[in-house]
Amino acid sequence: MRKQKASGVITIYLTLTLSIMITLIVTTIEMARVTAARAYSERVLQTAMESTLCDYYLPLFERYHVFGLDIGYGSNIADSNLLIDEIRKGIEVSFLPTKDDPISNLLLQKKSYLICNPMLEELSVENIHYITDLDGEFFRKQATSYMKYQAATEELEYILDSVHALEKTEKANQKFEEKMKVEQEFMLIDKDILKLMELIDGIKIKDNQIECKNGKPKTIDSFAKKLLSEEPTMDNALINHFTIFDSLKDNYINYPNQLISLKDSAKDVVESYRTAYENAVRQREQELASLRAERADMLKESKDKPCDTTKIDARIMSLEQSPITIDIYVLDSLMASCNSINQKMANFLNTLKVVKEKASQALSLVQKIKEARYKAQDSKNNFLDGLNKAREEIGDVLYEELSNNSEEMERYSNPEEKGIGIIKDIVSMEETLIQDIKVLEEVERCVLPSMAYTEEGYDAWLSKVNLIQTSLDHYKLNGLAFDYSGVNFSEEKNSILIAGKSLISDGLLNLVLEDVNSVSKAELSQSELPSFTAKKLPEKSSQAENNIKNIMNTEDREDITTTGVGKLGTEALGSFANSLVEELLFQAYENEHCTYYLSEDYKLGQVLQYELEYLLYGNMSDKENVSSFINRLILIRTIGNMISVLTDANKVREASEFAALVVGFSGLPFLISVVKYVILFIWALEQSLVETAAMLLDKNVPIFCMKDDFVVEFKDLASFNKETIIKKAKNYKTKEGFLSVGYKEYLQISLFFSNKNNQYYRMMDIIQENLRYEYEDSFRIRNCVVNYRAGAKISMPEQFFSLPFAINREALSIHGYLYLAQNTVSY
């Protein structure tokens, strides 16, 4: 029997093969386990994060339809650690189930977690975004998303219609603004011409018109043309108006006659002194003759006897040696006469000094006018070019009104044109003033000695006086001429402007509300408002009212400024940050959640009643906000009404006639024009006051006030008051139709045109304060999270063996494997 040998080759080979197969299987299982654990962990993290978003602030959603996770959790300070704790709880429920938890019991039954057995090592939250972030965009997106399902924007379609309808008014108002600005430049020239009249001709000017009394102009004592070389006449005084000359004729100085009179008086004094001196000499000679005769008699009586003549000889010698003395009373009289002459001469020289000052001031004004003519050229050209281009847009009627002073603009701004306004020849006027100032400076340099009654004193004084007179003979008036032919001396004051200024002195709100005390007195506290934190400042409450006052003061201004009306209109048609649809949706959101002045359904828990007005202005009180909007509404209505009166020939004619009467000159076109426009503005303003008062009574007005729509007449302007406004407003018949608007419509238009980012934050102000008032005082909308990102480091123990070749060393931990799960969640 044959012996068999055993071989282990197959066994070893099979063992090796089996080991490799088992290793591959286990490795595959371990890798699948790691991959499954990662996916499971990310899903758990996402679930936990989404669970935190379910804890949104319920009152915020129920009342304002906005989601926000308040991570203050009852405190007024946001704490991201509390958010991390909530996420951790959600993760641990899945990772570490307990028997006492129903959800955990479900996990225990399935035991699906056992294959992974993950552990949370580290959890962090980053990139937290609050509802107030991104300049309010997070809030806007939620608000507009809500409104997309409400179909509430249809009622706002009139805003777009109104924008198109207002485009023509905007363009017309822009051109009117430009004309007012360029005419102010020329008006300042006219005002300087009035000042020149006072400096050169001595006609008193007050409030840009000749000041009159009893139909005659008032005058001042000192002026450049005060000096005449002959008796004053209309011809040599260069005054072509009898009434003006009649008022001035006693103010002129005929300097040759005055100087001759002073020289004659001085000569008389010297003659008087000479006579007195001669009389004194004659008297002394008589006294000496008498003494000598007495001495001769003494010698004759003594005959041959000695005679003592010592005393009488001494008297004779003393009298011979004594100076000639004039009677003290005579000398006092002569001295008084000299002092009088010196005083009159001093007064005359002082008059010359004042005349020189007036001439110097006049020269400065002339040079200022010449410079202003050059500067006005560009403004004039730009305005007229722009006006011609806009003719088709603004219409022929308004074009004719705005271009009616174009010829005068050309004449005023042309340096080659010698005549300007009522100045006949400004070039000659400048040359004459320069020459006359030189003459008066020469006189000023002449040192005049005091007049004395002696021959020497008189001769020295007379020599200087003659020199002064010779110098003054070169003082000329040629060129210092104005054309007074168009002057009238009405004492009519601008009663319309006075009444207009008085009307608005107590504020516009008081004029259009019958009972101002009925306005809500509710206020906000500013310190923790989102808009305050974001540095969204309130709008200037008094801007519109200041613009109105600024226009009324145009005539009194000494600088060039815009009226502020055109600028307000231009801002209204600005660009939008978001799409038009988005803007309308957000405005619809505001309308659904906010009340305004005429609302009848104020909600409980409202801190402010006029919330839409707050969105516009952001002031802390209802009264400030509604007052600001009403002021703006009045100004907006005035803009449209101004365009209406400018295109009404009858209204323009009435205003022009009154302006010419007030100014008193036909030769100062731009001063008259500016006064005319101020009167027309007051007319437009008073009409807008009635319309605004009517809108506050819930009536509608036409967006364009046509000629027949005006309820204020010219005769009403000077006596307009609150009683008249309220009465006309109550009688105002509401206008219905496509372009008919009321208080709410103008509020919507203004919101549509105003800064959107400011509105976002002010809307959040309202939300926060109302919820604080009604629910929790600790609520702060700035603590409401809308999205965030979280990262979790998760470990998992090794089940079969480690996979160092498959796992990065950094992903290994003492517990086995370590990996990072990240996710972002958002409302």
pLDDT for the residue 568: 41
d(Cα 24, Cα 30) in Å, to the nearest integer? 10
Could you count the other beta carbons within 10 Å of the beta carbon of residue 617? 24
Q: How confident is the model at residue 94 (pLDDT cuts 50, 70, 90)?
A: confident
Give a yes or no: residue 477 inside a domain. no
Alpha helices in 232-254 (DSSP H): 242-248
700 or 708, greater pLDDT: 700
Residues whose CB is less than 8 angstroms from the CB of residue 208 and which lie 6 or more positions away in sequence, other chains included: 191, 194, 555, 556, 663, 671, 675
- Rounded CA gap, 213 and 508, in Å? 36
Phi/psi at 529 (5° precision): -75, 145
pLDDT > 70? residue 541 = no
Residue 814: alpha-carbon gap to chain centroid: 72
Domains contained in the chain, number: 3
Considering the domain architecture, whether residues 144 and 182 belong to the same structural domain is answered as no
* Residue range of the domain that includes 38: 9-150+767-826
N-terminal to C-terminal alpha carbon distance within the chain: 90
Give Cα separations from 559 to 177, 231, 441, 554, 662 (angstroms): 15, 42, 33, 9, 22
- Token couple for 53: 């978003």
Instruction: State how far the Cα of 644 lies from the Cα of 653, in Å rounded to an integer.
Output: 14
pLDDT digits (tens, 9 = 90+) for 637-694: 998 899 999 999 999 999 999 988 888 777 889 989 988 999 999 999 999 999 999 9
Task: Give the end of a domain, one of 722, 754, 786.
Answer: 754
Enter the tokens of residue 630: 């009403």
- Give the H/E segment covering residue 817: strand 816-826
Measured CA to CA, the distance from residue 826 to residue 46 in angstroms comes to: 11
Question: Cα–Cα distance between 685 and 642 in angstroms, integer?
Answer: 8
Both 502 and 393 in one domain: the answer is: no
Q: Which pLDDT does position 795 carry in this prediction?
A: 85
Residue 406 and residue 538 in one domain: no
Helix 495-503 vs helix 669-695: angle between axes, to the nearest 10 degrees? 40
Task: Using pLDDT thresholds of 50, 70 and 90, give the confidence band for residue 561.
Answer: very low
Residue 629 lies in a domain: yes
State the Cα–Cα distance between residues 211 and 194, nearest whole angstrom. 11
Contact 204, 211 (CB under 8 A): yes
Cβ proximity of 62 and 786 under 8 Å: no
The backbone torsions φ and ψ at residue 812, rounded to the nearest 5 degrees and listed phi first, read -95, 145
Q: Tokens 């400048």 sit at which residue?
A: 430
Are 51 and 167 members of one domain?
no
The verdict on residue 486 lying in a domain is no
> For residue 236, with 0-12 CB atoms within 10 Å meaning exposed, 13-18 middle and 19 or more buried, which class applies?
middle
Locate the DSSP E strands across 131-241: 205-206, 209-210, 212-213, 216-217, 227-228
For residue 384, the one-letter residue type is L
pLDDT in tens, 705-743: 888 889 999 999 988 999 999 999 999 988 776 678 899
Is residue 786's pLDDT more than 90?
Answer: yes
Lowest mean pLDDT among 16-20, 34-38, 101-105: 101-105
Give yes or no for a contact between 789 and 809, defined as CB atoms under 8 angstroms apart: no
- Per-residue tokens: 756: 């959107």
Query: What is the Cα–Cα distance from 538 to 628, expressed in whole angstroms?
Result: 11
CA-based nearest residue to 581, from 134, 148, 65, 155: 148
Tell me the β-bridge partners of 256: none
Report how far residue 575's alpha carbon sits from residue 579's, in angstroms, rounded to the nearest whole number.
Answer: 10
* Alpha-carbon 663 to chain mean position: 27
User: Rounded to the nearest 5°, which phi and psi values hold at 129?
Assistant: -115, 130
The kind and range of the H/E element at 82 are helix 80-95
Instruction: DSSP for 35-64, please give it.
Output: HHHHHHHHHHHHHHHHHHHTT--HHHHHHH
CA-CA distance, 368 to 501, in Å (whole number)?
31
140 and 28 inside one domain = yes
- Between the alpha carbon of residue 89 and those of residues 45, 85, 825, the distances in Å are 10, 6, 17
Nearest to residue 262, comparing CAs of 340, 355, 334? Answer: 340
Q: Is 739 found in the same domain as 692?
A: yes
d(C-alpha 44, C-alpha 49), whole Å:
9
Which of 14-23, 76-85, 564-573, 735-744: highest mean pLDDT? 76-85
Instruction: Please indicate, yes or no, if residue 26 is contained in any of the structural domains.
Output: yes
Q: Give the residue from 705, 729, 754 where a domain finishes.
A: 754
Residues 6+ apart with CB under 8 A from 158: 741, 745, 748
Q: Residue 162 pLDDT more than 60?
A: yes
Q: Is the same domain home to 129 and 158?
A: no
pLDDT at 705: 87
Choose between 522 and 281: higher pLDDT. 522
* pLDDT of 100: 56
- Residue 1 located in a structural domain: no
pLDDT at 294: 81
Q: Phi and psi dihedrals of 110, rounded to 5?
A: -80, -30
Residue 586: HSE in the Cβ half-sphere, 13 Å Cα cutoff: 29
CA 410 to chain centre: 30
Question: Are residues 379 and 288 located together in one domain of the fold?
Answer: yes
d(CA 590, CA 615): 9
CA distance 49 to 43: 10
pLDDT average, residue stretch 249-260: 95
Q: Write a three-state SS string for 321-373.
A: HCCCCCCHHHHHHHHHHHHHHHHHHHHHHHHHHHHHHHHHHHHHHHHHHHHHH
Q: What is the mean pLDDT of the chain?
A: 86
Residue 120 · residue 95 · CB < 8 Å: yes
238 pLDDT higher than 60: yes
Pairwise CA distance, residues 155 & 152, whole Å: 7
Q: Which residues contact 551 (CB under 8 A, 6 or more apart)?
A: 563, 564, 565, 678, 681
Query: Which DSSP state fits 73?
Result: T
| 366 and 228 within one domain | yes
Distances 301 to 234, 307, 315, 330 between C-alpha atoms, Å: 84, 9, 20, 41
Instruction: Tell whether 484 is covered by a domain.
Output: no
* Span 346-355, pLDDT tens digits: 999 999 999 9
Residue 201 lies in a domain: no
Residue type, 140: R
- Kindly state the percentage of the chain with pLDDT values over 70: 87
161 or 635: which leads in pLDDT: 635
3-class state of residue 702 by DSSP: strand
Is 554:678 a contact under the CB 8 Å cutoff?
yes
From 741, 753, 511, 513, select the one nearest 637 (Cα to Cα).
Answer: 741
Q: What does the pLDDT look like over 416-471, one tens digit per residue?
A: 899 999 999 999 999 999 999 999 999 999 999 999 988 899 999 999 999 999 99
Residue 280's pLDDT band, with cuts at 50, 70 and 90, is confident
pLDDT at residue number 507: 85
Q: Rounded to 5 degrees, what angle do the CA atoms 560, 563, 566 make?
A: 125
- Record the tokens describing residue 13, joined without a space: 């080979």
Q: How far apart are CA 201 and CA 362, in angstroms?
A: 10
CA distances from 663 to 484, 672, 676 (A): 13, 6, 10
- Judged against a pLDDT cut of 80, whether residue 575 lies above it is answered with no
pLDDT of the residue at 174: 86
Pairwise CA distance, residues 656 & 401, whole Å: 12
User: What band does 103 get if pLDDT is binned at 50, 70 and 90?
Assistant: low
Pairwise CA distance, residues 645 & 678, whole Å? 12
Structural domain includes residue 760: no
pLDDT at 1: 46
What is the pLDDT at residue 565?
46
Q: How far apart are CA 291 and CA 297, in angstroms?
A: 10
CA dist list (Å): 440 to 17, 228, 407, 437: 131, 14, 39, 5
Per-residue pLDDT at 158: 64
Specify whether 231 is located in the same domain as 120.
no
Q: What DSSP designation does 454 have?
A: S
Q: Which of 472, 502, 529 is the last residue of a domain?
A: 472
Helix (H, G, I), strand (E, B) or coil at 408: helix
Provide the pLDDT for residue 224. 96
270 contacts: CB under 8 Å, gap ≥ 6:
453, 454, 455, 458
* DSSP for residue 119: E
Evaluate if residue 571 carries a pLDDT over 70: no
Average pLDDT over residues 196-206: 94
Q: Are 100 and 165 within one domain?
A: no
d(CA 699, CA 355): 64
Q: Judge if 445 and 548 occupy the same domain.
A: no
